Amino acid sequence: MKILVLNGPNLNLLGTREPSVYGSASLADIERDLQTAFPQVTFSFAQSNHEGELVDTLQRARVDGIVFNPAAYAHTSIALRDAIAAIPVPVVEVHISNVYARERFRHHSMTAAACVGLVAGLGTDGYRLAVDHLVRRSR
């Protein structure tokens, strides 16, 4: 099974960015954790701070599933929502923090309705849960 783990803006700063909100794990730590937890999965990883690049990555993905943390773009991007809806690949949206316990503008996700599921507020464990769902779904 092939899974793309795609991360949006500012997630390249994980580990140093607001550790009280996002924890101390870096993107590299999350990637290592997933590869260790799911040796049967072939992962590809990408991160971008640019909306159009995220759209292009979704459209080019030739994988069995996508774990996508759109970060702040979840709350603003119709383009990302439409890109998810346009592809035949199941996408699970992930947020490290509990967006519903934060600022009101974070309480709505434009992208979630186009996804097969949403995991929020469980820290970096959310990535593992999303991958587990995609693996089980493919059986």
Residues 85-132: tens digit of each pLDDT: 999 999 999 999 888 867 787 777 999 999 999 999 999 999 999 999
- The pTM assigned to this predicted structure is 0.93
Per-residue pLDDT of 57-96, as tens digits, reads: 999 999 999 999 999 999 999 999 999 999 999 999 999 9
Angle between helices 78-86 and 51-60 (to 10 degrees): 0
- For 2-138, the fitting CATH number among 3.30.70.330, 3.40.50.620, 3.40.50.970, 3.40.50.9100 is 3.40.50.9100
C-alpha dihedral (90, 4, 59, 63), degrees to nearest 10: -70
Active site includes 22? yes
Active site includes 107? no
Question: What is d(CA 66, CA 5) in angstroms, rounded to the nearest whole number?
Answer: 6
* The one catalytic residue among 50, 73, 95, 107: 95
What confidence tier does 22 reach under pLDDT thresholds 50, 70, 90? confident
